[in-house]
Structure 1
Amino acid sequence: MQHSDIQKVLDQVSAAGASGDLIVDGGESVSLKANAGALEEHAVRSSQILGLRVIKDQKVGIAYSEATDEEAITQLVNQALTNASYSEINADESLLGNQAQLVTDDAVLAPKDTTSIEEKIEFALALEAQLLKKDKIQSVPYNGVTHSTSTRSVYSTAGLSAQSKASSAVAYAYALAADGDKNAMSGIGQASRQFTELNVESIVEPTWEDCMALLKGTPVPTKHYDVIFDPNQQADIFDVFTMALSGKSAKDGLNPWREKLGKTVADERLSLIDSPTNTDGFGYQLFDVEGVACRDVSIISQGSLSTLLHNSATAHYFGIESTGHASRNPKSALSVGAHQLVVGAGDANKSELEQGEYLYITELSGTHSGANAISGDFSFGASGYLCKDGERLQPVRGITIAGNFYDMLKRITCIGDTQHWNWQRSSLMASIRFADLAVSGS
């Protein structure tokens, strides 16, 4: 989108006696998928979408467009103004007087792609082919290789100009194994800024090993167990309950921690930080959707709730400053979202973390349908391994783990001294050994 077109949008908003900001999201991607030794999908996509928020007479209107011609721009502005005229007065939401000029570093976040399309196709075919060569693997129904570049620009009538660009290379495979009347599916993925850092074997081997183990998996006896979730499942559980971190859900009266600031909400050894400034992760953000510069924010410190996450509107409501967590896409209203959650390293070494009997969970099902983010109650199907002193005694499947997330944070046996990224590289967490979780099995 040309800068002159952006200025036309902002000028028309100002001419109508309103203020506003404009999001321009764009992206390009190549997606590949293999099936039965052949390339089933080779999709090349590009997109651009504009999202306009206007504020007039303390009323907010949202509109979006995928077109950028002069008529579409005029329609976009008029629609947003019309939507604002029918909305209720919102005294908390206003445009920040933010005149920042922000640009991300392409050399770090969007390095030049040196891998040819032929090499990417070869990678996708090899991913499936090598798994199919493995004993008892019947098919690889879910697999893919994607290389994409996304851009986000935010402009405002106050003078804000913020641009970000990021590349990602992702590969994943989920294989189906069968042995007689038993079957099992498992898989994993990899993500990197550079396609050259992806590795077929690093996906194939753990996928096959987990499939073979799960074929032999059986339920454990019903009772309470200490539980360690692998990095992917632990990140998913925290993600399910991020409502507890949101200033917006607190403003709406839904946040179970809305009156817990300064109070104990977790074991004193737990620290939880939102760290958008770590460029090693894909949750890196230089600025939020209001152009507020992002910074590391301590949410839980020594078990005590230090702050909730805020945009300018929720911050105004509570009489504080934004924490740089405004979020919205071009089609949505202003909200709040975490960037890149980090659980701080504890003091337990590997031997201490894995001492005695525990369950190591590598797969959860129903993580959203089986959870109530307000009450904290959950019930998830699970599989993994029964372990003792770091040794895997048996593979486990067909069990259900139930409990309350907010209570679980207060019942921690120990926290490991090493942090791990989930495979999507969206969170960095030390392993937590949770105490005494209810497990239904045999």
Structure 2
Amino acid sequence: MSEQLSTLAEQLLDAARAAGADTADVIVVDGTSVSIDVRSGALEQAERSEGIDIGLRVMIGQRQANVSASDTRTATMQQMAQRAVLMAREAPQDPHIGLADPTQFATDTDTSRLDLFDPSAEPDPADLQDAAARAEAAAQANAGISQVQSASASYGRRRVHLATSNGFSAGYARTGHSLSCVAISGTGANMERDYDFDSRVYGSDMRTPEDIGAQAAARAVARAGARKPKTGAYPVLFDERIASSLIGHLLSAVNGAMIARGSSWLRDAMGEQVLPAGLSVIEDPHRTRIAASRLFDGEGLPTAKRAIVDNGILTGWTLDLATARQLGLTSTANASHSTSSAPSPSLTNIALTQGEKTPAELMADMGTGLLVTSMIGSTINPNTGDYSRGASGFWVENGAITYAVNECTIAGNLRDMLMRLTPSNDAQSHLTRVVPSLLVEGMTLAGD
């Protein structure tokens, strides 16, 4: 299959040259996905998709255009190239676009060492249905559950090939297995919902359906009787499940596209302290069996481990070639390239320094405050970092959970919040964002 994808990529590049493009790059994606949903022990929905997508970006001088299709016939590719060239000739000039110099291209492109492809046979739909049904049954076995909203199992396989008109050509393959369950406790206006899931590259690494269903049920039952918390200024402990969203706001703010536009609340923070001393944010694209890992980025540059925040100090932006040129810097090999759009900066695997204390020990330290386990809505000012989100979770008194909480709002400023956080030690190492529970002092809560 990799040979077929590389052949298609070369054919499309040839078509672009023939149509008049100065330079071009191509991305070809072939994939299969299967998804099974179960309700009340019976099959509710089954979906399967297979297909191939091709994307072409052409450049004429400092003008570019991107086109995509799912038809790989020679005539279609020729038409794509011709249309792309016509579009590029009418596009506005951008002095920052352009392919990498061939000397910049990755030479180590054998992604097999990252172990991203499960070689076992594609799961039979009956096996996926059985896994979803087992998760649902495990959730329903909890007497406090009134219904299981959904139980779903899925599998996906994806092969990608990137080629440029100046010599780069390489690809990789990935697989993904996932299982989720959403359970509901209570009835009517007193219903509370929670979930659990697992997602891995290898099916053999998955947790059992029974564990996922039971955990979803236990979480939903624990939320029974939720009410609004007190209004005031309190410490907030972000549960591991949602703590990565807090670090995600920092990562979004150091994205090169935001910096180049001047629309980031960290736009002037290079070299400044943005996290407490001792905490670092490390990107490592080469972790094995992790879905976001890659040896080269969407522009063919070699990826490498780097510190985005080192001992609390912001050390760099997340850059592709265009944003790097705009800022007068060097690409960090963070280009993401889809069939339907030009490259843009994005991250791979991120890890925040873990702390030494368990979440229970952090709760004991916080005394009185809020443990947040889920959030809804989002009001984040990208220019100032002002933060406000709807939240639910559990009220903590004297270091212990006392009752479930819903319908409240937590607010603060991200620059201040990040400087007041304390990490726990419960991060999950198989995730693409390895972030533990995070305690943030002095947030504003709006409840009763």
For the superposition of Structure 1 and Structure 2, which TM-score range results when normalised by the shorter chain?
A: over 0.9
Change (3 A) 1:258 1:291: same
1:76 equivalenced with 2:77 (yes/no)? no
Give runs of aligned pairs for residues 211-290 of structure 1, distance below 5 A: 211-240=220-249, 242-290=251-299
- Which blocks of at least 5 consecutive residues in structure 1 are unaligned? none
8 Å contact 1:351–1:389 — kept in the other structure?
Answer: no
Q: Which residue of 1 aligns with 2:185?
A: 177
1:103 equivalenced with 2:114 (yes/no)? no
1:150 equivalenced with 2:161 (yes/no)? no
Q: Which residue of 2 aligns with 1:125?
A: 133
**Percent same amino acid at aligned positions?**
23
After TM superposition, the runs of 4+ consecutive aligned structure 1 residues lying more than 6 A away are none
For residues 194 and 128 of structure 2, the distance between their equivalents in structure 1, rounded to whole angstroms, comes to: 23
For residues 110 and 174 of structure 1, the distance between their equivalents in structure 2, rounded to whole angstroms, comes to: 28
C-alpha RMSD of the superposition: 2.2
How many residues were matched structurally?
A: 437
For residues 113 and 31 of structure 2, the distance between their equivalents in structure 1, rounded to whole angstroms, comes to: 15
1:43 equivalenced with 2:24 (yes/no)? no
TM-superposed CA distance for 1:381, in Å, is: 1.5
1:313 equivalenced with 2:322 (yes/no)? yes
8 Å contact 1:26–1:49 — kept in the other structure?
Answer: yes
For residues 40 and 179 of structure 1, the distance between their equivalents in structure 2, rounded to whole angstroms, comes to: 22
Q: Which residue of 2 aligns with 1:439?
A: 445
For residues 341 and 209 of structure 2, the distance between their equivalents in structure 1, rounded to whole angstroms, comes to: 38
Select between 353-362 and 73-82 the one with higher mean Cα deviation.
353-362
1:28 equivalenced with 2:32 (yes/no)? yes
TM-superposed CA distance for 1:284, in Å, is: 1.4
Aligned partner (choices 31, 55, 58) of residue 54 of structure 1: 58
What letter is aligned with 1:72?
T
1:9 equivalenced with 2:12 (yes/no)? yes
1:152-178 CA distance string (max 9 Å, x none) = 210011111121111111011112221
Q: Which residue of 1 aligns with 2:167?
A: 159
SS of the equivalent of 1:386 reads strand
For residues 145 and 423 of structure 2, the distance between their equivalents in structure 1, rounded to whole angstroms, comes to: 36
8 Å contact 2:195–2:216 — kept in the other structure?
Answer: yes
Q: Which residue of 2 aligns with 1:362?
A: 373
Change (3 A) 1:390 1:116: farther
SS of the equivalent of 1:285 reads coil
Q: Which residue of 2 aligns with 1:381?
A: 390
Change (3 A) 1:19 1:248: same
TM-superposed CA distance for 1:349, in Å, is: 5.7
Change (3 A) 1:27 1:362: same
TM-superposed CA distance for 1:106, in Å, is: 7.3
Change (3 A) 1:224 1:7: same
Select between 201-210 and 382-391 the one with higher mean Cα deviation.
382-391
- Give the TM-score, by structure 2 length: 0.91
What letter is aligned with 1:393?
T
Select between 27-36 and 272-281 the one with higher mean Cα deviation.
272-281
SS of the equivalent of 1:64 reads strand
For residues 71 and 385 of structure 1, the distance between their equivalents in structure 2, rounded to whole angstroms, comes to: 60
Change (3 A) 1:409 1:2: closer
Change (3 A) 1:170 1:441: same
1:87 equivalenced with 2:91 (yes/no)? yes
Aligned partner (choices 197, 202, 215) of residue 211 of structure 2: 202
For residues 357 and 149 of structure 2, the distance between their equivalents in structure 1, rounded to whole angstroms, comes to: 39
For residues 49 and 395 of structure 1, the distance between their equivalents in structure 2, rounded to whole angstroms, comes to: 47
For residues 150 and 389 of structure 1, the distance between their equivalents in structure 2, rounded to whole angstroms, comes to: 50
Select between 251-260 and 340-349 the one with higher mean Cα deviation.
340-349
1:306-342 CA distance string (max 9 Å, x none) = 0001001111222222101111311112211122221
TM-superposed CA distance for 1:240, in Å, is: 4.5
TM-superposed CA distance for 1:352, in Å, is: 5.1
- Give the TM-score, by structure 1 length: 0.92
Select between 9-18 and 66-75 the one with higher mean Cα deviation.
9-18
For residues 106 and 269 of structure 2, the distance between their equivalents in structure 1, rounded to whole angstroms, comes to: 34
TM-superposed CA distance for 1:74, in Å, is: 0.5
- Which blocks of at least 5 consecutive residues in structure 2 are unaligned? none
For residues 21 and 338 of structure 2, the distance between their equivalents in structure 1, rounded to whole angstroms, comes to: 24
Q: Which residue of 1 aligns with 2:302?
A: 293
Select between 196-205 and 316-325 the one with higher mean Cα deviation.
196-205
